[in-house]
A and B are shown apart, each in its own frame.
Chain A
Amino acid sequence: EAGVTQFPSHSVIEKGQTVTLRCDPISGHDNLYWYRRVMGKEIKFLLHFVKESKQDESGMPNNRFLAERTGGTYSTLKVQPAELEDSGVYFCASSQGGSTQPQHFGDGTRLSIL
């Protein structure tokens, strides 16, 4: 079974540019989560999809961040325009339905804003 895959693994862009991160969850997982880890700090929740619907987006920092999950399969997270404080590692995780199903993480996208 393929795990959660994220693309790109690393992105370096200049402040003010746009970047789109992609996440392919494990096949059949309805729940998809985005998290972010800023250097040395804890991994923090951004938002949660159930299939194509946003269940919880309380962790999104501001309206420069836009997440989509068209068709309930892969998801994209767009940052536009990028700011210096957006640098960090963005993780995607997926899980099956059921309250005790663990979330499985991808290897993350390291985003560096110059």
Chain B
Amino acid sequence: DQQVKQNSPSLSVQEGRISILNCDYTNSMFDYFLWYKKYPAEGPTFLISISSIKDKNEDGRFTVFLNKSAKHLSLHIVPSQPGDSAVYFCAARVRTGNTPLVFGKGTRLSVIA
């Protein structure tokens, strides 16, 4: 039973436009959410996170939105650049006890020049 779901395996966006990656979760105990970016043959790289006490966190071109009632979060990248092409993983955890991350299956983003 997947607790973190990324229902879009892939997404194509034109350079300069907005990329929106979505993630849903089922475990209401999750209170900390992260996005990781992964290039081929490399490990996931931490991108941005959000705590459940917030509904938005922004870092440069990247913004994460959290809707707790819907158990949904999204990552917005604007403007999208060709270097953003990668697989993006949504992850969640329960903060207490440094619990492990629970990952979604990832969404492959292709930014077309």
Contacts and interface: CB of A to CB of B under 8 A. Distances in A.
A74 interface: no
A58 B42 CA distance: 26
Interface residues on A, range: 20 to 34
Given A48-B98, A99-B98, A100-B51, A43 B34 contact: no
B78 to A, nearest CB: 22
Chain A interface, DSSP helix/strand/loop, else mixed = strand
Contacts, number: 64
B99 A56 contact: yes
B89 A97 contact: no
A42 B98 contact: no
Interface stretch (A12-20, A64-72, A101-109): A101-109
Contacts of B95: 99-100
A56 B99 CA distance: 8
Contact of A105 (B43, B49, B51, B106): B43
Contact of B105 (A4, A42, A56, A95): A42
A6 B43 CA distance: 10
B24 to A, nearest CB: 13
Interface string A25-51: 000000101010000111111001010
A55 interface: yes
Given A41-B105, A93-B43, 11 more contacts: A33-B100, A35-B101, A42-B104, A43-B89, A55-B97, A55-B98, A56-B99, A91-B44, A99-B95, A102-B46, A107-B43
22 contacts: A6-B43, A31-B98, A35-B101, A42-B103, A42-B105, A43-B44, A43-B89, A43-B103, A45-B102, A50-B98, A55-B97, A56-B100, A93-B43, A100-B95, A103-B46, A103-B101, A104-B46, A105-B36, A105-B46, A107-B42, A107-B43, A108-B43
Interface of B: 2, 4, 32, 34, 36, 41-46, 49, 51, 89, 95-106
